[in-house]
Amino acid sequence: AQSVTQPDIHITVSEGASLELRCNYSYGATPYLFWYVQSPGQGLQLLLKYFSGDTLVQGIKGFEAEFKRSQSSFNLRKPSVHWSDAAEYFCAVGQNTGNQFYFGTGTSLTVIP
């Protein structure tokens, strides 16, 4: 069965510091991988996605993620965090039939001045 693991429940970083959020997936076929962000009181917004090709994908708001098949990982990175990046971040995997979608439990990011 497909699953997504986000090992870090909560992360605190200083503004301007770099960020890496971890995501591991379990999926038998080629995964369709996503990162979504949820700000307080709002719905989720897509940051980026990976289907195939270049394993380093660029997203919105300066985020990027790298697909590593050997590690079954799809970690999200940002070189310099802004206070507005404080939010909940969700990794997700989609099924190639398009009718199933699995989210991780999320990582809550706090940004301190």
Partner 1 sequence: ETGVTQTPRHLVMGMTNKKSLKCEQHLGHNAMYWYKQSAKKPLELMFVYSLEERVENNSVPSRFSPECPNSSHLFLHLHTLQPEDSALYLCASSQDSLLGEQFFGPGTRLTVL
The site that binds partner 1 (CB under 8 A) totals a number of residues, namely 25
Q: Does the footprint of partner 1 cover residue 4 (CB under 8 A)?
A: yes
Q: Let me know: does 15 contact 32? Beta carbons within 8 Å.
A: no
Specify the residue, 47 or 111, whose C-beta has the smaller distance to partner 1. Answer: 47
Q: Of 11-19, 65-73, 76-84, 102-110, which segment contacts partner 1 by CB under 8 A?
A: 102-110
Q: Does the footprint of partner 1 cover residue 103 (CB under 8 A)?
A: yes
Q: Of 15-23, 38-46, 69-77, 79-87, which segment contacts partner 1 by CB under 8 A?
A: 38-46
CA distances from 28 to 2, 44, 65, 67, 72 (A): 8, 26, 21, 15, 11
> How far, rounded to the nearest angstrom, does the alpha carbon of residue 54 sit from its chain's CA centroid?
17
